[in-house]
Amino acid sequence: MAVLLIAEHNNKELRPFTLNAATAASQIDSDVHAVIIGQNSADAAKQLSELPVVKKVLSVEGAHYENFTAENFSPVIVKLAENYSHIVCSANTFGKNLMPRIAAHLDTSQVSDIIKVISPDTFLRPIYAGNAFATIKSNDAKKCVTIRPTSFDPCESTGGSAPIEKVDASEEFSNTKFIKREEIKSDRPELGTARIVVSGGRGMQSGDNFKLITEIADKLGAAIGASRAAVDAGYISNDHQVGQTGKVVVPDLYIAVGISGAIQHLAGMKESKVIVAINKDGEAPIFSVADYGLEADLFEALPQFMEELNKLNTIQK
């Protein structure tokens, strides 16, 4: 039986991690079908049909799907699940919210946040904030799997031409009503997919001081991250949080500024290729994962860092 991938999108286009989830799905079985549920999402459905790993697209349209409510999505997917061995989607807030609802309806024990497909029924996943890796075998007839997007490369996005099949909508779930979404729009690269991330912690001392980070991020074409402490303190909004309960990032370069390196923060960034830590406390745990550590007052170091960057002839973007 084929694998069913749940596409994440914004009704206009696919969200980038759908491509990473598609890669994971194709590692489970080469026969990948993808379902897209939304309102006026034809363009996103077409994009989905162009992913070469996707063999068939199932499109479900309805006004009650506009805001991706799990209570509305799950009955459709549960019905489709009949024909599939696996249901797969990203382990971001969309998939985390949705997949367990599907798994419970199917009476299957979900495997969350996998970082590797070992075989179609066996997966590797981090536990204890990434301080241990567990190899998990699922014996359920249908398997619900969410994948950590940063652990899989995005699939090719063009060249495919899968047929798009319409599927009937399910009834609306009337006890949940969407009110509003406050998305923070930014021209910077997305935190989850950026090549470079510059993050600030409690050491930044104020939201205003984050401009020191912003300046460097702009110069490097980087995304801006933050520790939970910085978000809790109100220095920056929650969508920047990196860590066990925030976002997991795996950039080529992660610069941690004024971040002590609690286990919960390390869980979100320690797989980064190159890690830089700037902290005045030489004993801070962040230095234990840093490739390059600079023990310095960030309020002196960051302006100097900017100056040094300005001296460079070229900067890779």
Using CB under 8 A as the binding rule, the residues of this chain from 10 to 49 that contact another protein are none
Name the one range near another protein by CB under 8 A: 37-45, 79-87, 102-110, 151-159.
102-110
Least distance from C-beta 154 to another protein, angstroms? 16
41 within 8 A of 167, measured Cβ to Cβ = no
CA 54-59-64 angle, 5° bins: 140
Nearer to another protein, 162 or 192 (CB): 192
Pattern 64-83, another protein, x by CB under 8 A: -----xxx--x---------
Residue 107 engages another protein in binding (rule: CB under 8 A): yes
- Residue 277's nearest CA partner among 295, 250, 304 is 295
Residue 192 engages another protein in binding (rule: CB under 8 A): yes
Rounded Cα distance between 183 and 170, Å, is: 28
Classify residue 107 as left (phi > 0), alpha (psi -120 to 50) or beta: left
Rounded Cα distance between 194 and 212, Å, is: 19
Residue 295 engages another protein in binding (rule: CB under 8 A): yes
189: tokens are 């690269």
How does 124-149 read in b/e, with b if 16+ C-beta sit within 10 Å?
ebbeebbeeeeebebeeebbbbbbbb
Residue 63 engages another protein in binding (rule: CB under 8 A): no
For the segment 124-163, give every residue that binds another protein (CB under 8 A).
126-140
For the segment 254-273, give every residue that binds another protein (CB under 8 A).
263-264, 270, 273
Among 163, 180, 187, 283, the residue binding another protein under the rule CB under 8 A is: 180
Nearer to another protein, 51 or 298 (CB): 298
For the segment 200-239, give every residue that binds another protein (CB under 8 A).
220, 228, 231-232, 237-239
Nearer to another protein, 70 or 162 (CB): 70
Nearer to another protein, 30 or 245 (CB): 245
Among 103, 145, 223, 242, the residue binding another protein under the rule CB under 8 A is: 103
Least distance from C-beta 41 to another protein, angstroms? 17
Residue carrying structure tokens 């500024």: 257
Q: Which residues contact 242 (CB under 8 A, 6 or more apart)?
A: 191, 197, 199, 225, 226, 227, 248, 249, 265, 268, 269
Residue 168 engages another protein in binding (rule: CB under 8 A): no
Nearer to another protein, 166 or 273 (CB): 273
Residue 281 engages another protein in binding (rule: CB under 8 A): no
